[in-house]
Structure 1
Amino acid sequence: MAIAALLFSANTQAFLPTPLLVTEGALSSELSDSTSPSDAEDAVRIETSTLSNTGNNTQNNTASGSDMATEQLLATWRRQAKTDNLAQHTIWRRLLYFYDDQSSILSKKKTESLVDDPRFFLSDNGQQDSAAELDATLVALAKEFTSQTTGNNQANIHIKTQANNNSVLCRFPARVAWLKEKLAIDDASLTNECPELDDWMATLAPEQLSIVFAEEYLDNPLSAFGHTLLRIDSKSSVADPNQISQAYALNYTVDGDPNDSFPIYATKSMIGSYDSAIEIDPYPQKLAKYLQDDERDTWTYQLNLTSSEVQQVMRHVWETKALKMPYYFTTDNCASEILRLIDVIRPQQNLLKQLAYVVVPSDVIQLLNSQNLLANATYTPADNTLRQAQLNDAKQQRAQLGYHNSAKQTLNEIKSAQINPVSSLSDDGQWLRKRQIEVSDNNPIDRHPLQLGVIAIGQRGDNDYIDIGFRAGFHDTLDHASGYSQFFNLEGVAATLRLYDTDDDKPNQPDSVVLQNATLIRGRSFNPINAGNKGKTWGASIEATRVNDGSQEGGRDHLVGSVGYETGWSWAFGTPSSGTGQMSPQLCYTFLAGTAQAGRAINKGFRVGAGVNAGCRYQINNQLRAQAELQLPYWYHGSSDESNVRGHYWQPISSLGLQYDIDKKQALRINASYDWQERVDANEDIQLSYRRYF
């Protein structure tokens, strides 16, 4: 029988495909269309039994029999893969970073993997062809299978031990796990010891995944849009979520150059000049950064994933954690990566496809919630929030007992992070203390949608107009406040077109259609000096806007580019929510402001201004808010030889805003302003707008 087997394998070797040769299109050229999935599964079971028996033959028979068994097994897998079209399966292509249903201006063609690193592929053509990569993987698996079932001698064991960490089972465990399921391969018949992978999984011990949202932090512009990361829980931290010493944080971030200046750093992050990085750190260390260093509240939501899905996510993280891929701050960021990981295991939900081009962490939270993927929300207050709760209690007691110096000293001591180092973390930072305050109204699930459309009717001077506007994000101080940190004010990528109903018989009429405003970024960070926050109060803007420079009598308004910066002070007043770490809902502020504007139509083509901006915001009730502001800029154009043209002047402007929320997605707003400069062609402007958030 041994001689017959040897002769059979020798005679037929010439007619069999080369065992280890992988060619593009092998799946389509070598698989039979007539083979049914059930036949393929039966063949796998038969060949598995045959392979086990083969290992009992002589060493020479084993070598030739192994080659033949490899080819038989590979042919069977290829037939089944073709029948099920596994090469084009959504999960397989997503495991390889092919995204057929996602469009991106900055990404590659849909027919090409986003990964450039050749180490991520077994096939030389794997980046362009998912079928070639599948075939190469099947070849490698067939080799692993037959070597394990026939290689029982000491030499083979030694060779296998040396190459363990580089085997396909160790390098790409997520791909292998998926193929095992699809090809009905028994786990026991295709296993390997992977010391590096096994140690990594044993350290993390993943049992449950949660998404953590750290609220927006305007004092660090790169954190101004919030941040998300994954919390990896072990059995210990699942049993007691406060035992965070047994949890890890998976953070997808930018691998930037810390020596770059902020403008360069921000620009490179936007355009993909930096690589991304996957950081896996002890969770207490990461949480302390948000709660104590940045003083940002966090919300943690358990992801509704099964145990097998959690394991598959972590296997895929292992495959991709060393990849160097371009990081795009607005499109491929911390939030999009979490959706990508979930899309790998839940392809039918197409989470990434449901988001707008710009991916914002709070939108990701809302999307996951709408897809029923979130559970067990947990609020963790930052250090300043806890101090604010103490301040609120002390102020209420002070109001009851009356003012005295010792009470004032107590308030100052409570506000001091050095004197009063209160925290949600234990002294050793390894576990969470039980929360002692009520939940703040900053759950991102509750916030209004990010985008905003506006239509308004108004009157400027003697001219009626209609405004049509759009804002990509985020929020201003009159918008509905639920879901945001208090007094949050950050707007970006906004534009307004104004359509005038002009009278041609009157002089100095405006154009029928004008660009009223185009904002790149505009925001203010309010940290009241009488509150628990430690940051400064400041503001900044980059925009194009229409102005009347006031240097000439009866001049028309003109579009100019404008850059401004403010720094100052703010104060919270009123009665705060009892038992919470929220500040009082009312706010007053004073800024020292500087602005530079340039435009061909204004006097000298430029003007620079400095002055004071002061105002107050008042929350009448949960649906109605008002804000009043007075701007006192002094403008300078430069000296002029013309007697009727002024080179410098004051131009005070007062404004009032009032917003009523119909619901979370709709609101009405009244805006009114008066320009106190006597030389402008129209002093007053009043409008009523309908605002739709979407």
Structure 2
Amino acid sequence: MKLFRICGAFFFALIVFPVFAQDDSRLQALAESQQWHQLLHVRYHPLTFRTISQNDSERFFLSSDGKENPYAELLADIAAFAQSGLQPDESAQCRFPARYQWLKTKLENNGFIDQPCPAFEQWRDELDADAITLIFPASHINSPSSMYGHTLIRLDRSDERRSKLLAYAVNFAANADPTDNELVFSYKGLAGGYPGVASVMPYYVKTNEYQHMEYRDVWEYRLTLTSEEVDQFVRHVWELQDTYFDYFFFDENCSYRIIAMLDAASERVNLADDFVYKAVPVDTIRALWQGDLVDEVTFRASAATELETRSRQVSAEVLGISRRLIDERDDIDGLLKPLSQTERAQALELAAAYARYLSIKKKQGNPELRQRTLAVLSARSRIPVSAGFDNAPTPQWRDDEGHLTQRLGIRAGRISGAETNTYTDVRLRMAYHDVIDLPAGFVDGSQIQMGQFDLRRWGGDGALRLQNARIIDVLSLSHQTAFQHPVAWAVSFGAERYPWREAELYGYLKVAFGKAWLTDVGRVYGLGEVRMLADNQFEQGYQLSAGPRLGWLWQGEQLQFQLEGNWQALNAGDDTEQRSLEAVLGLRISSNDQLRFEAGRQVAENNDVSAASNQFSLTWNRYF
């Protein structure tokens, strides 16, 4: 064994040192350089205190110690790249073209002989990448994997006349088990239970998924990468194929991996190091702006946005007939008879869009619906006039122009009931938005909060204690429209205390479903909410309750207001009945500062014994 090791070391020396004549300090400096670490996806891990590659596939390394030792991987790669006379596509140069290209530029008199790589060259030529555009399908609150939005890369060709739909896209996503339900998916996504893989596919496959199947608006950010950096990005994507990373929804997600791939393509880009504990897609886009990497921005409205935009441009009569054209089987010409030529064109185009919505969103792609859709399209082809629809306008605010996603709040409050107490809270939220936050750049009526912790100090008491730990809190108040009837829903879980001073901490899970409507004076909603509370303060160690949750929400640019009442009338495990009425007013101070006023009354009744408390507070919120 000793003789074997000596021979191996001698063989390695014959290959490396006569060819490169590089001193060890020079190689050590290369191994410690930022760009070599980025090519290997080597990062410092804040929990394990180790510097290690985030790639978890053995195929990504030539050295057995390469995952943890960038220097050993550098030596192994140099030795492998020096080999010549191999069969086409069999060399390490073909397997790791980005590393090979970088080392060629860094090692003087390297003596490398380019080996034939027809498979890579054919793949590269098929992609024909001339520029890179980052694609951001906006947040989709009804999908656990897309609550914060998603990012991917489109490889644009030099010929602008060719359809961008025929370009290729680079996507990173969790390779999830299709049999997992959304609860299992959420758990595994948070805990790193799925491998994350990079894939290359025609862009029309992704745009069909996001614009039509999921009905999501899309923002396109053309990047300023040079042609050399685009070529290196393509080489690096080739290296990542057939490898995997552990996928974590909150930090090592699609957006994090995309910017890490951009880091690997350019020595002037270093974005991923700023995202240690979380990587929200809009934050990674902000990092691109700060790095002066964005050239131009384009908005592409989803099919749902176009449908709703057009529905607001017609009369109620046209709207009603356009629905009847699909929902009923009456004669089409007879339904259209009361309308003018232009109105008929409008009704038929709306009907066709509505039919597509039903077939995709509601999964009603049955033969009868297809036959009716063809009849509608045929009728539209016989009308020579234009429907005169205006396209959906570009939103006033992009998603990345909203408030920053972390929030620090200082709250001072007063509670009166059996006794009066004052308190001060320090409130920290890791992500991302609630319905009283500044609304610019966020989906109206949507709320996604994760990792909020409130520490309270009561007046006259110097001790801080945990008042609230909100692990997740999601609220979707998608409103009813002429064509779409989404379900409003909410789910939250964590631990909290009742507002009075001596209250104990209890765990909770709250789930609600209902409807929301958009009116001229704001958004109104009604939900049925079920609560599961657990702690020994309840009669049987838990309380299961249900009741109505009603509210009114106004989201203005300067003022935000919510009034909500909740009555938990049905109870099991503990007979205490809870009623509450809360009002919250938000006042915008700047794009990342807000004042918030809150007033509420909470009543608890048990066996004709009633306890009530009134609460008033003022909070300063700083988004960062």
TMscore range, shorter length = 0.7 to 0.9
Closer, same or farther in 2 for the Cα pair 1:215/1:83, shift >3 Å?
closer
Question: Is 1:308 the equivalent of 2:228?
Answer: yes
Instruction: Please identify the structure whose Cα radius of gyration is greater.
Output: 1
Closer, same or farther in 2 for the Cα pair 1:279/1:122, shift >3 Å?
closer
Q: Distance in 2 between matches of 1:71 and 1:478?
A: 63
Q: Distance in 2 between matches of 1:96 and 1:251?
A: 19
Q: Distance in 2 between matches of 1:480 and 1:114?
A: 36
Match of 1:691 in 2: 621
Aligned residues: 561
Question: Is 1:674 the equivalent of 2:601?
Answer: yes
Question: Is 1:654 the equivalent of 2:600?
Answer: no
User: By how many angstroms is 1:82 displaced?
Assistant: 2.4
Q: How does 1:344-423 map to 2 (within 5 A)?
A: 344-347=264-267, 349-394=269-314, 408-410=320-322, 419=354, 421=356
- Of stretches 601-610 and 408-417 in structure 1, the one that deviates more from structure 2 is 408-417
Match of 1:131 in 2: 71
Match of 1:103 in 2: 45
- The answer to whether the Cα contact below 8 Å between 2:440 and 2:557 also exists between their aligned partners in 1 is no
Amino acid at match of 1:221: P
Match of 1:631 in 2: 566
Q: What is the aligned counterpart of 1:563 among 509, 524, 528?
A: 509
Amino acid at match of 2:131: Q
Match of 1:274 in 2: 194
Q: Distance in 2 between matches of 1:293 and 1:86?
A: 46
Q: Distance in 1 between matches of 2:269 and 2:262?
A: 9
Match of 1:547 in 2: 498
Match of 1:206 in 2: 129
Match of 1:176 in 2: 100
Show CA shifts across 1:534-565 (max 9, x none): 532111111212237xxxxx996432111111
Show CA shifts across 1:307-361 (max 9, x none): 0001001101111111133222222111111111122234454311222411111
Amino acid at match of 1:528: H
Amino acid at match of 1:683: S
- The answer to whether the Cα contact below 8 Å between 1:635 and 1:649 also exists between their aligned partners in 2 is no
Q: How does 1:5-84 map to 2 (within 5 A)?
A: 21=10, 23=12, 74-76=19-21, 78-79=22-23, 82=26
- The answer to whether the Cα contact below 8 Å between 1:384 and 1:532 also exists between their aligned partners in 2 is no
Question: Is 1:328 the equivalent of 2:248?
Answer: yes
User: By how many angstroms is 1:602 displaced?
Assistant: 2.9
Closer, same or farther in 2 for the Cα pair 1:524/1:171, shift >3 Å?
same
Question: Is 1:612 the equivalent of 2:548?
Answer: yes
Closer, same or farther in 2 for the Cα pair 1:409/1:175, shift >3 Å?
same
- The answer to whether the Cα contact below 8 Å between 1:254 and 1:277 also exists between their aligned partners in 2 is yes
- The answer to whether the Cα contact below 8 Å between 1:73 and 1:142 also exists between their aligned partners in 2 is no
User: By how many angstroms is 1:285 displaced?
Assistant: 1.1
Closer, same or farther in 2 for the Cα pair 1:213/1:104, shift >3 Å?
farther
Closer, same or farther in 2 for the Cα pair 1:75/1:538, shift >3 Å?
closer
Amino acid at match of 1:521: I
Amino acid at match of 1:497: L
Show CA shifts across 1:584-630 (max 9, x none): x82110001111111112333221111111111124x4211111111
Q: How does 1:133-212 map to 2 (within 5 A)?
A: 133-144=73-84, 147=85, 160=86, 163-184=87-108, 190-212=113-135
User: By how many angstroms is 1:452 displaced?
Assistant: 0.6
Closer, same or farther in 2 for the Cα pair 1:555/1:338, shift >3 Å?
closer
- The answer to whether the Cα contact below 8 Å between 1:276 and 1:327 also exists between their aligned partners in 2 is yes
Taking every aligned residue pair, what percent have the same amino acid on both sides?
26
User: By how many angstroms is 1:499 displaced?
Assistant: 1.6
Q: What is the aligned counterpart of 2:402 among 447, 457, 479?
A: 447
- The answer to whether the Cα contact below 8 Å between 1:229 and 1:334 also exists between their aligned partners in 2 is yes
Q: Distance in 2 between matches of 1:232 and 1:490?
A: 32
Q: Distance in 1 between matches of 2:247 and 2:276?
A: 17
SS in 1 for 2:248: coil
Q: Distance in 2 between matches of 1:608 and 1:80?
A: 68
Closer, same or farther in 2 for the Cα pair 1:657/1:183, shift >3 Å?
same
- The answer to whether the Cα contact below 8 Å between 1:634 and 1:649 also exists between their aligned partners in 2 is no
Show CA shifts across 1:134-171 (max 9, x none): 23333333332xx5xxxxxxxxxxxx4xx211112211
SS in 2 for 1:332: coil
Unmatched runs of 5 consecutive residues or more in structure 1: 1-16, 27-66, 148-159, 399-404, 428-433, 504-510, 549-553, 575-584, 639-646
TM-score by length of 2: 0.83
Q: Distance in 1 between matches of 2:504 and 2:354?
A: 53
Closer, same or farther in 2 for the Cα pair 1:601/1:663, shift >3 Å?
same
Closer, same or farther in 2 for the Cα pair 1:559/1:176, shift >3 Å?
same
- The answer to whether the Cα contact below 8 Å between 2:436 and 2:585 also exists between their aligned partners in 1 is yes
Q: Distance in 2 between matches of 1:435 and 1:198?
A: 45
Match of 2:523 in 1: 587
User: By how many angstroms is 1:71 displaced?
Assistant: 7.1
Q: Distance in 2 between matches of 1:142 and 1:211?
A: 36
- The answer to whether the Cα contact below 8 Å between 2:310 and 2:390 also exists between their aligned partners in 1 is no
- The answer to whether the Cα contact below 8 Å between 1:441 and 1:484 also exists between their aligned partners in 2 is no
Q: What is the aligned counterpart of 1:496 among 443, 450, 454?
A: 454
Match of 1:526 in 2: 477
Q: How does 1:222-301 map to 2 (within 5 A)?
A: 222-236=145-159, 239-240=160-161, 243-301=163-221
Q: Distance in 2 between matches of 1:650 and 1:661?
A: 36
Structure having the higher strand fraction is 2
Closer, same or farther in 2 for the Cα pair 1:684/1:325, shift >3 Å?
same
Q: Distance in 1 between matches of 2:72 and 2:481?
A: 65
Match of 2:330 in 1: none
Q: Distance in 2 between matches of 1:600 and 1:81?
A: 64
Closer, same or farther in 2 for the Cα pair 1:534/1:213, shift >3 Å?
farther
Q: Distance in 1 between matches of 2:28 and 2:49?
A: 27
- Of stretches 434-443 and 488-497 in structure 1, the one that deviates more from structure 2 is 434-443
Match of 2:384 in 1: none
Amino acid at match of 1:135: L
Closer, same or farther in 2 for the Cα pair 1:545/1:168, shift >3 Å?
same
Amino acid at match of 1:447: G
Q: Distance in 2 between matches of 1:529 and 1:347?
A: 49
Q: Distance in 2 between matches of 1:687 and 1:416?
A: 50
SS in 1 for 2:569: strand
Closer, same or farther in 2 for the Cα pair 1:93/1:356, shift >3 Å?
closer
Show CA shifts across 1:407-455 (max 9, x none): 54457777867645499xxx9xxxxxx9922112451221100111111
Q: Distance in 2 between matches of 1:478 and 1:240?
A: 45
- Of stretches 264-273 and 335-344 in structure 1, the one that deviates more from structure 2 is 264-273
User: By how many angstroms is 1:685 displaced?
Assistant: 0.5
Closer, same or farther in 2 for the Cα pair 1:652/1:344, shift >3 Å?
same
Amino acid at match of 1:169: Q
Q: How does 1:211-222 map to 2 (within 5 A)?
A: 211-222=134-145
CA RMSD of aligned residues (A): 3.1
Match of 2:591 in 1: 664
Question: Is 1:463 the equivalent of 2:421?
Answer: yes
- The answer to whether the Cα contact below 8 Å between 1:556 and 1:680 also exists between their aligned partners in 2 is no
User: By how many angstroms is 1:388 displaced?
Assistant: 1.4
Q: How does 1:499-518 map to 2 (within 5 A)?
A: 499-501=457-459, 513-518=464-469
- The answer to whether the Cα contact below 8 Å between 1:215 and 1:296 also exists between their aligned partners in 2 is yes
Match of 1:85 in 2: 29
TM-score by length of 1: 0.75
User: By how many angstroms is 1:185 displaced?
Assistant: 5.9
SS in 1 for 2:423: strand
User: By how many angstroms is 1:370 displaced?
Assistant: 1.4
Q: Distance in 2 between matches of 1:594 and 1:72?
A: 71
Closer, same or farther in 2 for the Cα pair 1:408/1:141, shift >3 Å?
closer
